Each structure stands twice: as structure tokens, then as C-alpha cells.
A and B are shown apart, each in its own frame.
Chain A
């Protein structure tokens, strides 16, 4: 973990054991760049962008319809197939599949379970978690082959809220619940590893993608009738997608997307959000080419972010998102203080609501992770 990927020749969707996960090349350089950027923003105010070949005022955001064609939602089926390959012949009573936020473990495990006729276990209710009720674990005992797509929904970080998941994992790891596959957010996994102790169970994850693989993927999803769109970088003026780059005789490694891969630590789910947010079209109607603007982190955290905001961010990550009521339960200050901190983060675009739960936005994730790591908080292994 944390080492760099040695080759870009691996298939797009590779499911690997956790200790074989490698961050893309230049990940460390990307972190330094982010720190420098954050420090200079702090010292001299908002940064002016690097010199651009194409100015941003000459470009406009793409309409939703066009975006839906060029950047459709990620189809996680290939990842579910890759997971199935890894799980063939797997005899362990429990196997984990973990990914960071916005990176698909729920979809992958759900699809895998559907294909293999494994029953998805329903998560406990909030009142069961609040009271430390372990009755829901008894309900799980009826299934001999089961899947849990999102283990982060099975606990809350307080003394009552961890009793159920502890009981469930103890039974599952000892084989008393038959055989199961657990999808889990990488932050929740890191926390549960400390609280419950889940060493020994096999853990798989999606291998990080290099810039070249991102280029192939984005070209593939945007291709219609055998034609992939021309996308240029506003920073360098060079094409960024593999096929268009090859047509232009440019066979150099794709620096623009390598920067993106390093920034997202190779996680396709996060990179997809950046790609979708950064695509622009020219304001002049006679031009057809698309442009990729150079703005890696739209909502950055300042280095002087206070303790309350930091604790809120960490709690949201550990639980894979929380509603306001649950957020108040897992933090050591009053509900209104938690609400104020959450509102401030929402105004800055650091958190947003999805299905009633507040989550770190995909574009802020990299800077939030770096901030928490620099302040010695428990961080995920990916």
C-alpha cells in the first residue's frame, strides 16, 4: 500500500489483494503540489492558474444531455466480474471488498451478489444501532450464503453502536454464518480493523488506474459510432485521450491524465467526477473540440481548518456519510455545534447530501484525506 504502480499494462478493471494495491506514479509529487498550492493560497489568497493555452472565458460548461452521452455513469459490471474471478475457489467464511468513497464497492458487491444468487443482508435500523440491539444479527443467521454491500451502514461510532457489528463480524469470521462477501468503505474498514480486529480475512480492492488507463476508459465511454471525441488540455493544448493522441502522432505518456490519476490516487470513481466537472466546450459554435480545464481541486480545505470541522469530516468518512441526527450522536459536542460545522462545510462545497446522508464531495476528497493524514487521524489504507 502506498507504493507506486509499476506498470500501466494491467487491465482496466483489476481486483487485487489489499497488500498489492499500488498508488499511481507521481502520487507523492501530487501531494506536494497540493500542499504547495494550499500554502500559497493561504499566504497570498486565491491562486491564479498556471499559464493556459486556452483561456477559461473562451469555454463554457457542457449541457447535461451532452455530458450524459460523453460521461455516462460508471458501469461497475466489469469490476463485479473481476471480483468474481478473484472469489473463485475462495474458501474463507468472509471476504472483504473495499474501496474509498464514491468508488463503487456497493454497486460491485450488489451486482456480484445478484449474479451469484447471494442474499444481501439488510442493515440494522438506526434505533437498533442507537440501543446496541443485536437482534438483527440473529436475522442474518437464516442465510448460509450472503453479501453485505455496505458494511459502513452497520455501525455507529459510540459504545452501543459498535456492539452489533462486533457480534456480527465475530460470528461471520468464525464461520457460524456460512459464507459471505462484505463490501466496505475503506475508511470504515480501517476503523473496524482497530475496533473489532478483522485481520485474517481476505481483503480485495480495485487496483489503482494510471493516466493511460484513465485515458482509455474515458475514450471508451465517450465513443459513439467508432469515433471518440477530441479533448484538448487547456494547460498544454495537447490531446488527452489515447485514441486522439495517437491520431496526432503523440505517443508520449499522457501527462494530463497521469496528474489526474495521481491526484485521485488511481481511484476511477473519483477521477470520473473530476473528468465530468472539468470538461468544457468552446463558446464559439464553429469549434467542435472539447477542452479539459486545469483545476484539480475546486473545493480545497485551508490548512487552518479548525478541530470541530476536522472531527466532522473524519466522522463522515468513517461512516461513509451520516445524516444530521447520527452525526450529532458520534461527535463529542452538541448537536447544534455539529450542525453549524456541517453547514459551514456545506457552504464551502466540502460536503454535500446524497440520499439523506452528508458526504465528502468527490472533488474535495483528496484534500480532506491529506489534511486528516497530516493531523495524525486514522486514515484509510487506499
Chain B
């Protein structure tokens, strides 16, 4: 009987007024989250430049603030917020989490960490465990990444704990792109370097306040050139790389520079190298 009374004291008496208050708070929280998330996303997708990324960064933070406020209102209505009650409640919660919902809650906690540390935010181009794409939404449990193939991949936040997150633009508008050229060893390297630099300088997508670097690397099968440059907007990266590649090939073939004929294993190496340079 004593035990029963002890547990009864943990929770407040939930009368009809408390039920209504809880309902109103829950409903308001849901509505506020939906409105703020959609509103901020809607606004950010219509903006450009740095402002776009600043507004995107507000999306998970706003949701976190709304949730904390809602919890601060709801908890005192349900339980008597004394030290003993809190310890009991947290202990019970910890037990449940430890046994049944470890990964789920770990993702939720990582989601809170991601809203504060900002390893990724909507609009960033990230690579998590081989999934590369634009962050479209940072949810409570997962981050939604849209790949260049238009697949939407939901990656749990808990990857934050033990996996590297490669962020290509880190909340900014500068994202380095790499266009590769594999050339036959017989060519005038100085001329090729200048020509590839001109290819970048004459691209309509080029961001001028960032450097253009042409890297040449000698290989057993020929020379591997890379143009490293930045597009005006990260979303233009594939158009930019395509533009550099198409015009670069035109210039080189017009000058009689031949492509390298790669043996199959070298071709595989080159492909891996190009992919890892993203």
C-alpha cells in the first residue's frame, strides 16, 4: 500500500483541466514545429548566398528550442518536479533506453548535438559513409540527404559518434570542385596547364574570389591533371564540373593532345582517386 502511494505521489493528479492544458501544449508544439520548419525551409530555398545557409541553420535550432520549451511546460504538469521524483523518473527512463531503445535515443541525442555543433545543416554538401549529397532536412532522429541521383537517404544522427562527416561547404557558399583529365605522356605540360587554367577562367559558373589551381601528377600511364576551382553556388557543382570537362576536352583535342589509354587496373585506381577527391 505504501509503495502504491509512493508511486502515486510521483505523478500529479491529472484532472480535466490538466488534460486540456497538456492537449493545448502538445497541439501548439506540433503546429509551431510544422510552421517553423516549413516556413524557414520555404524561405531559405528562395534565397541565395550566405543568408540561405544562415536561415537553414535555424531550422533544427528552432525545433530544439520549441521542444525544450514544451517539455519545460509539460513535465511539471505530469509530475511533481522534486529531486527524488526526477531521479526516479530519469532512472526508469535510463533503464528503458538502455534495454530497448538504445540506438533510437542515441540518434535523438546526436540530433541535439548536431543542432548545437552544426556538423551539417540544410544546404550543406556532405559525405557520410559514402553517401554524398545535399542535406535537405535535419530531423530529430535522421538527416535527409538528397544524392545527385535524386535519391533521398535518411542517415541516423548516431553516425556522428563514430563516423567521419565530410562537409564540402560547411555552411558557406564555397565548394571546391575537381575536374580530372587523363592525358597521354607526350604533350607540352606547360601549355596544358595554362590552357586548363583558361578553361576555368572562362567558365560562366566560376567564383572569382577563390583560387584556381591546376594540379599535374605523373603516372606510369601518362599525366593526371586536375582543375580545382569553385562555382558561384554549391548547387552548380555538377554543371560546373561538366562545363570544365567538356570545354577542357575541346581545347585539348583541338591542340592534338591525346587522352591516356589506361590499363584496366589503372583506370580503376584513377576512378577511386577522383571519387575520393570530392
Residues on A facing B (Cβ under 8 Å): 42, 157-159, 161-162, 194-195, 303-304, 307, 311, 314-315, 330-332, 374-378
Contact = CB atoms under 8 A, between A and B. Distances in A.
B232 A376 contact: yes
Contact of A375 (B49, B247, B251): B49
A379 B132 CA distance: 32
Interface stretch (B21-29, B95-103, B111-119, B193-201): B193-201
A307 B234 CA distance: 12
Contacts of A377: 232
Contact of B201 (A194, A315, A332, A375): A194
A376 B233 contact: yes
Contacts of A332: 203-205, 239, 242-243, 247
B173 interface: yes
Contacts, number: 53
A178 B201 CA distance: 29
B201 A303 contact: no
A307 B237 CA distance: 13
Contact of B233 (A304, A330, A375): A375
Interface in B142-181: 173
Contacts of B195: 159
A141 to B, nearest CB: 24
Interface in B177-231: 195, 198-199, 201-205, 207-209
B208 A194 contact: yes
B204 A315 contact: yes
B73 interface: no
B84 interface: no
Contacts of A304: 46
Interface residues of B, number: 24
Nearest to B196: A159
B251 A159 contact: yes
B241 to A, nearest CB: 11
28 contacts: A157-B202, A159-B198, A159-B202, A159-B251, A161-B202, A162-B201, A195-B201, A303-B47, A304-B46, A307-B233, A311-B204, A315-B204, A330-B202, A330-B204, A332-B203, A332-B205, A332-B239, A332-B242, A332-B243, A332-B247, A374-B48, A375-B48, A375-B49, A375-B232, A376-B48, A376-B49, A376-B173, A376-B233
Contact of B208 (A162, A307, A378): A378
SS class, residues of chain A in contact with chain B: loop
B258 interface: no
A303 B46 contact: yes
A159 B208 contact: no
A315 B206 CA distance: 12
Contact of A162 (B198, B239, B247): B198
Contacts of A378: 208
Contact of A159 (B48, B199, B205): B199
Given A194-B208, A332-B243, A162 B202 contact: yes
A65 B201 CA distance: 48
Contacts of A307: 233, 236
Closest 4 CB pairs of A and B: A332-B243, A378-B208, A375-B48, A159-B198
B204 A157 contact: yes
Nearest to B46: A304
A329 to B, nearest CB: 11
B174 to A, nearest CB: 9
Given A304-B46, A307-B233, A311-B204, 12 more contacts: A157-B202, A157-B204, A159-B195, A159-B198, A161-B202, A195-B201, A195-B202, A307-B236, A315-B204, A332-B204, A376-B48, A376-B49
A158 B209 CA distance: 19
Nearest to B50: A376
A162 B197 CA distance: 12
Contacts of B205: 311, 332
Given A159-B202, A162-B198, A376 B207 contact: yes
Given A194-B208, A303-B46, A303-B47, A158 B173 contact: no
